[in-house]
Structure 1
Amino acid sequence: MALYRRVSGSVALITLQNPPVNALSAAVRQGIVDTVQRALSDPEVKSVVVCGQNGKFCGGADIKEFGGPMSGPPLVPMIHTLESGHKPVVAAIEGIAFGGGLELALGCHYRIAHSKARLGLPEVTLGLLPAAGGTQRLPRLIGVPAALDLITTGRHVTATEALKLGIVDQVTDHNTVEVAVKFAQSVAGQSVEAHRLSTRPCPSPPDLDALFEGAMQKVRQSARGAIAPVACVQAVRAAATLPYPQGMERERELMATLFSSGQARALQYCFFAQRAVGKWSLPSGARWDMSEARPVRKAAVIGLGTMGRGITVALAQTGVSVVAVETQERQLAEAKQAVSGMLERGAQRRGAAPPPGLVHYSSNLQAAAEADLVIEAVFEDMALKENVFQQLSAVCKPGTLLCTNTSGLDVDRLASHTRNPQLVVGMHFFAPAHVMKLLEVVCGPRSSPEAVATAMHLGKKMGKVSVAVGNCPGFVGNRMLKPYLEQASFLLEEGATPELVDQALEEFGMAMGLFRMSDLSGLDVGWRVRKEAGQTGPNVPPGQPERMRQGRRYSPLADFICERGRFGQKTGRGWYQYDKPGARVARSDPWLHSFLEEYRAQRGLVARRIDHQEVLERCFYALINEGFRILDEGVAAGPEDIDAIYVFGYGWPRHRGGPMFYAGMVGLAVVLERLEHYHQAHPDVPYLEPCSLLRKLVAAGSPPIQKWREVIKRLRSQL
């Protein structure tokens, strides 16, 4: 709804009321229509101010209305009525003006923003475009290049940047509504014709075709197959080349196509999935947000390699005091320099000063004694971590939470080396830890609700998407990654090349092909883990062929590559070759192709033609099948948790929703049939056998993903 009252005698103040962000629900839109009509027809009213209650202007459309038929007044004619009126209308922007909220402000004749307000058109992140005139009015206001940047990326701008761009007329540190009312009084009676954006010509640079060609090339490269950014460019082009009415019609047509697309459904699912995992529901069904998180004023990070440095920066940027401990003096000196540089660069990006004096360094574990929470980030070696946890348990005060940044080791085993195993949880960050959004919070069987709640809350404070997962080898993300990686190696044995596999995955929309990703991460990391697990070289059981381990197919390809000192980018050679160690550009390597031919010939393997479809099915369906096993075992609370992990931690394209959502889009029956086909063709790969939960979901009629939790719960209760 919208509240109407007259202030200062001649100013109509219209206040949007729909907590928490005053979204433009049907009731709010109806309220705006009614109050604007009242203001325009009241002879005592000379000007109008539109604001939002509780310090927030408007968060845009009500996304909950997207699922069904729209009711209430449409947004486009509502904004047009506001703009076409003869009385000046001023938007008083506090807090946020996003999406439809900014479009509403663009329909006003003047815009005044508080200095702490943020503005943006984020529709593209939901697979849509700003379809209430945003793609037509914004270019007319700030020019085509700036409008393209904001609309195709969905990024938010500060009030200061908005003023510089020309989106707002004034920025204030004072009460925005009061400033806007005074401004409205000062322009009362003046013509608003020049301030109607729909009647302005769109400023067109002389090289318009080249500009749009470059913009289209840029979004196609960064969008990884997403169609919304491309539609945004087309809509802005309409603003630059067509009269306003035809431009609006083009905007409407493009929006209609996007609105009904599978990509929009996937992106909106991602939006709600991120909220769902934030509710901290655990695989067991327990709700840890019912427990109060402890305050973390002082933290310690043990081990200052790549991960430890990133975690230190992430904590300091949150305002937490950090003791960074590294026992190797040389590594400690390098870490000091690296952390300082990362904090400075981060501060420059945010336009703020780096946090002063929050990071303290030590080479002695005793420095962690007074920390409220400790994050161990030493090398991924169980014996080393056990030793660190024993020492921490002796050094730290009794109530200190002890967290491990392991990517797959047994959290409960580490907890058993402490005095208070209930205070031990996993905090699995993703590199680079100060940048990547994902945090897997691993709950051991003895982890207390309070410990989990504290880790989850700290992750949220650091700006992470925190997902609670159960304790098993690899947890959720890395456990699912294992069959995905293995299938890619098997495809090389059968005739594929790293280039073919990576091209198929990248065309699908993955941020990086699997072999390019392996080269970036370092092949030696996985090799070390396999050696420790007795899965390489001389540990092959007597009488078993080299390509079998524990009765199942195994590819030693990655081991052989590592044995030749090819660890990826760090050595300048891996699955690809690089101009020099540390270089980023992957080039096809003739040596590797010859090596693959020799490898197959020595083992009697006949190369065959493998197409992109087989690459996608073998890699993704194996990964998805493991996801169903994880759900079946209760290691993840629901499919949204798995999808959030893959979107925010593993480069899965948002416009495809996540692996479990993708399975639903393809059709669970299709996934089941293809898995049965591949398991029949490769009976020595047991994880290709379809999971019983997948079979049960198909038997239950393949319900939509939002219903899977109910089905899983019902199946468990039947057991």
Structure 2
Amino acid sequence: MARYTRARGSLALITLTHPPVNALSAAVRRGLVESVTRALEDEQVKAVVFCGENGIFCGGADIKEFSGSMLGPSLVPMIHNIERGDKPMVAAIEGVALGGGLELALGCHYRIAHTKARLGLPEVTLGLLPAAGGTQRLPRLIGLHAAMELITTGRHVSAREALRLGIVDQVTEGGTVEAAMELALSVIGQPLNLRRLSLRDPVWTPDVEAVCDAALALVKRRSRGAMAPVACVQSVRAAAMLPYSKGIEREKQLMGTIFESGQARAMQYAFFAQRNAGKWSLPNGAQWNNTKPRDVQRAGVIGLGTMGRGIAVSLIKAGIPVVALEMDAKQLELGKNAVTGILQRDAQRRGISPPLDLLTFTLSFHQLRDVDLVIEAVFEDMNLKKRVFSDLSKVLRVDALICTNTSGLNIDELAAVIDRPPLVVGMHFFAPAHVMKLLEVVYGTRSSPEAVATVMALGKRIGKVCVAVGNCPGFVGNRMLKHYLDQSVFLLEEGATPEEVDQALEEFGFAMGIFKVADLSGLDVGWRVRKASGLIGPDVDPVKPSRWRLGRRYCPLPDMLCQQGRLGQKTGRGWYVYESPGSKEAKSNPEIRNFLEDYRHKYGIEPRHITSQEVIERCALALANEGFRILEDGIVASPEDIDMIYLFGYGWPRHRGGPMFYASQVGLSVVLKKLEHYHRLHPDVPSLEPSRLLRRLVAVGSPPIQQWRTHLSNLRSHL
């Protein structure tokens, strides 16, 4: 797994050989130890060059080894031996040097990178810290501020940025290994102590305490409840204040604390789940991922509101020419200015020219006649979307795909208005569409495997995490979200305040509590949806708290706020108050407390104390319970797909793995008992009744989440 060869007479070339990314598996580490020993003992070898096979240096540790016993040589002493070697050690970095790969390079005395290489220490994204000396060597090389930022975010840097920061000594556009050999030959015989990072003094600065305290406050605010970023700060702090030998011990202690934690397991689960997201079998046994997608060379976008603008930007940034259509000249001009503005700001930030030549703006459907695929992003109204589909079918090529950015409308009903239902697929983007990573790819009963494959490939091309989902009201994300929202307002009815609910959710790990999110989005968004669904309106009787609507308990509190003109940030008042125009700072709203007290008094509700534990249990477990029902219904292929939807579309904290993984960590039998308890207390909330699948899984011994699929095999897919 590490190939040893001689080059240029006096050089040893050690090549990592473990495709696809030359991860540091036990076999690779063993090969490295043997090869380094051989090079150091060979008197004819004067310097050593490390490289990776197939143009990739090293992608880091073999994550699959984390779940078992770690066999083979330890990375820490191996890198120490490389650094202590009495012959120059040069890392030739191509492709990537990530995690343990970069730590290996930091153990070398010199580093040279190809201009297209990427470097970083992303362990924090797996719930870990760089524990092979990364938190001790990198600060000693590039300084406290820069190292703290890279380690606590896990951000990758380009070779050019790495050169500017001082991580690498040279950047080359040509043959990296050849350049590394030239560098190695040029430094033979030179003193090496100054190049050994572990011998450098701690990275002390007069404001070291202030820098570390500020970094700690930042990661706690940015990654609420996550252990790994905090551990990273503490370990880098050790590099700033302790000699290397003490710092490496602190690094080891901190790694030991978080390595076996539930958070680390959750984030590693999320890593592998993201890799597998979207694998799906169609009802006829075919798989979209075994079907060749079409090449989309030109796309259309209809509607230049918030969603349409983001979709157009996503396509353009991927190099796909776009015809953007609006039905009103004023809206077209507004949309044009918004899209070009986003692209210009992005190009300025990246130091390139904006690709405005790929954009065509029009009021005419006939301009779409040559596109391969069109994405409809008009207002969420079935009749309006049907008219658009009908107009499209008259001008598009007969083989052009027609996609809709609906967040929950019936795909089959839309497809029925045209003569090509197999070419209709849903593309549910999340706002802002050019930023949010999730794309729910929705197919109906007649969507063809080729159409699904094409949309999945397009989603990947524009940088989205794509999950194929079935056609049902709300699809997956919004179908589950409805029950999360319901529980939050029921808790207000029963005695909680918006602040108490939001604080519990934020301490759990959400970046924003549900009522802050509602204010940010605008309370009128949900109000319009509830009106359209018949939940409220002039023909609906006044609501009492115990009344059901459409088969479930209904709480009118959000509707009552909207009726009073409290629509959130846009009006300065919602669940919170915003003191100045454009302010995003949510402050407690005394009027809401009076509003809730009056409401409870009017309907005879005796308020009670709501604990943060109850908030989490009812909100999170209601989500998971509906996820089990979605699995029963065959709407997604696996619980991992549900978790990816919530991680990338709804802000579920990554260190909790996703609602389905969270249920598995809590324990399925515990989840079942909790739901049974809450359903007994609230029999008018059918969503709290435990699902059939949950009961079945508990009955067979609560298997790990990866085995849940086997208990779905006898359930007929609804697709």
Structure 1 residue aligned with 2:230 = 230
2:8 maps to 8
2:405 aligned partner: 405
Letter in 2 for 1:107: G
Q: CA deviation at 1:117?
A: 0.6
User: 1:353, CA displacement in angstroms?
Assistant: 2.7
Q: 1:417 to 1:68 in 2, by over 3 A?
A: same
Specify the SS of the correspondent of 1:599: helix
Give, in whole Å, the separation in 2 of the partners of 1:521 and 1:351. 32
Measured after TM superposition, the shift of residue 239 of structure 1 is 1.3
Aligned residue runs from structure 1 range 493-512, under 5 A: 493-512=493-512
Partner of 2:443: 443
How far is the alpha carbon of 1:536 from its aligned partner?
Answer: 0.6
For residue 287 of structure 1, report the CA deviation from its aligned partner. Answer: 2.1
Deviations 1:151-205 (A, max 9, x none): 1110001111111110000111111111111111111122211111111113311
Mapping 1:198-237, distance limit 5 Å:
198-237=198-237
Q: TM-score, normalised by structure 2?
A: 0.97
Separation in structure 2 between the aligned mates of residue 186 and residue 179 of structure 1, nearest angstrom: 11
Contact 1:283 1:636 (C-alpha < 8 Å) held by counterparts: no
Check conservation: 1:143, 1:202, Cα contact below 8 A: no
Aligned counterpart, 1:611: 611
Judging changes above 3 Å, is the alpha-carbon distance between structure 1 residues 472 and 43 closer, same or farther for their aligned structure 2 residues?
same
Q: Which amino acid aligns with 1:267?
A: M
Does structure 1 residue 185 correspond to structure 2 residue 185?
yes
Q: 2:319 is paired with a residue of what secondary structure?
A: coil
Q: Tell me the equivalent position of 2:334.
A: 334
The aligned residue for residue 666 of structure 2 is 666
Determine the structure 1 residue equivalent to 2:156: 156
Deviations 1:7-26 (A, max 9, x none): 11111111111111110111
> Residues 262-273 of structure 1: matches in 2 within 5 Å?
262-273=262-273
- Distance in 2 between residues matched to 1:408 and 1:283, nearest whole Å: 21
Taking only aligned residues, the RMSD between alpha carbons, in angstroms, comes to: 1.6
Task: Give the Cα–Cα distance (whole angstroms) in 1 for the partners of residues 567 and 218 of structure 2.
Answer: 32
| Aligned equivalent of 1:82 | 82
Structure 2 match to 1:296: 296
- Structure 1 partner of 2:456: 456
2-side partners of 1:190 and 1:122: how far apart? Answer: 33
Change beyond 3 A, Cα 1:543–1:501: closer
Cα deviation, residue 354, structure 1: 2.1
> Does the Cα contact within 8 Å between 2:222 and 2:511 map onto a contact in 1?
no
Q: Which amino acid aligns with 1:147?
A: A
Percent identity over the alignment? 66
Distance 1:700 1:509 in 2: 31
Shift of 1:281: 5.2
Aligned length: 717
The equivalent of 1:602 in structure 2 is: 602
Which stretch shows the higher mean deviation, 427-436 or 140-149? Answer: 140-149
- Residue by residue over 1:73-131, the C-alpha shift from the partner in whole angstroms, topping out at 9 and shown as x without a partner, is 11111111111111101100011000000000000000000111110000000000111
Whether contact under 8 Å (1:282, 1:637) holds in the other structure is: no
What is aligned with 1:519? 519
Whether 1:559 aligns to 2:569 is no
What per-residue deviation string (whole Å, max 9, x for no partner) do you get for residues 317-362 of structure 1?
A: 0000001111111111111111111112222333433224111101
Deviations 1:41-61 (A, max 9, x none): 111111111000111110000
Q: Which residue of 2 aligns with 1:66?
A: 66
1:414 partnered with 2:414? yes
In the alignment, the residues of structure 2 paired with residue 539 and residue 623 of structure 1 have an alpha-carbon distance, to the nearest angstrom, of 31
Find the aligned partners of 1:283 and 1:563 in 2 and give their Cα distance: 46
Q: How many Å separate the matches in 2 of 1:388 and 1:314?
A: 22
Instruction: Report what 1:98 is aligned to.
Output: 98
Structure 1 range deviating more: 285-294 or 328-337: 285-294
Cα deviation code 1:212-251 (max 9, x no counterpart): 1111111111111100011111111111211111111111
Shift of 1:543: 11
Is the CA contact (8 Å cut-off) linking 2:311 and 2:434 kept in structure 1? yes
Alpha carbons 1:283, 1:635 under 8 Å: kept: no
CA contact (8 A) 2:545 2:553 kept: no
- Quickly say closer, same or farther: Cα 1:324–1:565, change in 2 above 3 A: same
In the TM superposition, what is the alpha-carbon distance from 1:570 to its structure 2 partner?
1.8
**101-110 vs 232-241, which moves further:** 232-241
**1:343 aligned partner:** 343
Q: Using the alignment, how far apart are the partners of 2:600 and 2:348 within structure 1? A: 52
Residue identity in the other structure for 1:607: P
Look up the match of 2:34.
34
Partners of 1:571 and 1:580 within 8 A in 2: no
Which of 707-716 and 590-599 deviates more?
A: 707-716
Matched residue, 2:427: 427
- Report the Cα distance in structure 2 between the residues aligned to 1:44 and 1:214, rounded to whole angstroms: 51
Describe how 1:238-317 pairs up with structure 2 within 5 A.
238-280=238-280, 286-317=286-317
Instruction: Report the equivalent of 2:642.
Output: 642
In structure 2, what is the Cα distance between the partners aligned to 1:77 and 1:223? 32
CA distance in 2 between counterparts of 1:573 and 1:393 reads 44
- In the TM superposition, residue 553 of structure 1 has moved relative to its aligned partner by 1.6
The CA distance in 2 between the partners of 1:532 and 1:41, in whole Å, is 78
Partners of 2:182 and 2:81 in 1: CA distance: 23
Aligned residue in 1 for 2:689: 689
Q: Which amino acid is 1:528 matched to?
A: R
Question: Residues 579, 544 of structure 1: CA spacing in aligned structure 2 closer, same or farther, 3 A cutoff?
Answer: closer
Asked if 2 retains the 8 angstrom alpha-carbon contact of 1:283 and 1:634, the reply is no
The aligned runs of 1:111-130 (5 Å cut-off) are 111-130=111-130
Q: Distance in 2 between matches of 1:710 and 1:276?
A: 17
C-alpha displacement of 1:538: 3.4
Give the residue type in structure 2 aligned to 1:260.
Answer: E
State the distance in 2 between where 1:296 and 1:464 align: 16
Secondary structure of the residue aligned to 1:252 is helix
1:584 deviates by 1.3
- Residue 526 of structure 2 aligns to which amino acid in structure 1? G
Compared with structure 1, are the counterparts of its residues 211 and 544 closer, same or farther at alpha carbon in structure 2 (3 Å cutoff)? closer
1:18 matched to 2:18:
yes
Inter-partner Cα distance in structure 2 for 1:543 and 1:641: 37
Check whether the contact 2:258–2:264 (CA below 8 A) recurs between aligned residues. Answer: yes
Hey, what's the Cα distance between the residues in 2 that align with 1:545 and 1:50?
Answer: 69
Deviations 1:366-385 (A, max 9, x none): 22111101000000000000
TM-score by length of 1: 0.97
Are the equivalent residues in 2 in contact too, given 1:280–1:456 (CA < 8 A)? no
SS in 2 for 1:357: helix
Q: Secondary structure at the match of 1:86?
A: coil
Q: CA deviation at 1:143?
A: 1.0
CA distance in 1, matches of 2:451, 2:715: 30
| Deviations, residues 413-465 of structure 1 (Å, cap 9, x unaligned) | 10111111000000000000000000000011110000001111111111110
State the Cα distance separating 1:537 from its structure 2 match: 3.8
Letter in 1 for 2:317: Q
SS at 1:651 equivalent: coil
> Using the alignment, how far apart are the partners of 2:716 and 2:302 within structure 1?
41
The one-letter amino acid paired with 1:596 is L
Residues 545 and 243 (structure 1 numbering): CA distance in 2 closer, same or farther, change over 3 Å?
Answer: closer
Residue 384 of structure 1 is matched in structure 2 by 384
C-alpha distance in 2 between matches for 1:716 and 1:645: 23
CA distance in 2 between partners of 1:11 and 1:282 (Å): 55
1:611–1:542: structure 2 CA closer, same or farther, 3 Å change rule? closer
The 3 A distance-change label for structure 1 pair 183 and 283 is: farther
Task: Decide whether the 8 Å contact of 2:632 with 2:715 is kept in 1.
Answer: no
Structure 1 residues 588 and 635: CA distance shift in structure 2, 3 A: same
Q: Distance in 2 between matches of 1:259 and 1:186?
A: 41
Q: In 2, Cα distance between the equivalents of 1:102 and 1:284?
A: 46
Q: CA deviation at 1:278?
A: 4.6
